[in-house]
Amino acid sequence: MGHKMQKALLQTAGLACRLWLALYFGAHVAAHLNPETRLWVLSHDAFSGSAALDAGTTLLLGLIALWLVLGIYSRIVAMTGLVISTAEAALYGDAVLTPAWVAAALAVAILALTGGGRLRLHAGGWRLRDAL
């Protein structure tokens, strides 16, 4: 496999992971905004009972989904979103290790190695001090 083809494959993998994670976190936002709406099996029933905490989680996961679609600090944002949604499911939900969660965790791992992929607005890399 040539270098250009290998680079294109990594870029495509990064883009696919970014979009999958945006869909995964967006499903959580949709479930929080309208609990009767569950997008396939992507979202979980994890509500804290506190309107302020649920609203904050919804806002943060919505922002994370938007940043993933745009490709802004994809690695850091994806890891943050996975930690938040996992903690929410562990604390207030019934199941953490769902097939959708496993796919999201795998997508975060691939994204950590490949980067944001094609069509990203900002390639931040691992320079955390620039992201804060």
pLDDT for 9:
79
| Token pair belonging to 72 | 């802004």
DSSP state of 116: S
pLDDT for 1:
62
pTM score = 0.80
Q: How many CB atoms lie within 10 A of CB 31?
A: 21
Question: Where are the chain's structural domains?
Answer: 15-131
Give the mean pLDDT of the chain: 79
Instruction: Indicate whether 31 pLDDT > 90.
Output: no
What is the 3 state secondary structure string of 25-57? HHHHHHHHHCCCCCCCCCCCCCCCCCHHHHHHH
Contact call for residues 99 and 41 (beta carbons, < 8 A): yes
Output the CA angle 44-28-32, nearest 5 degrees.
Answer: 90
pLDDT for 132:
44
Give the C-alpha separation, 5 to 117, whole Å: 14
pLDDT for 79:
93
- Indicate the pLDDT class of residue 131, thresholds 50, 70 and 90: very low
On the CB side of 9, CA atoms within 13 Å amount to 6
pLDDT tens by residue, 101-126 = 889 999 999 988 887 666 555 565 55
Instruction: Indicate whether 46 pLDDT > 70.
Output: no
Out of 18-27, 45-54, 74-83, 114-123, least confident range:
114-123
Mean pLDDT within 12-32: 88
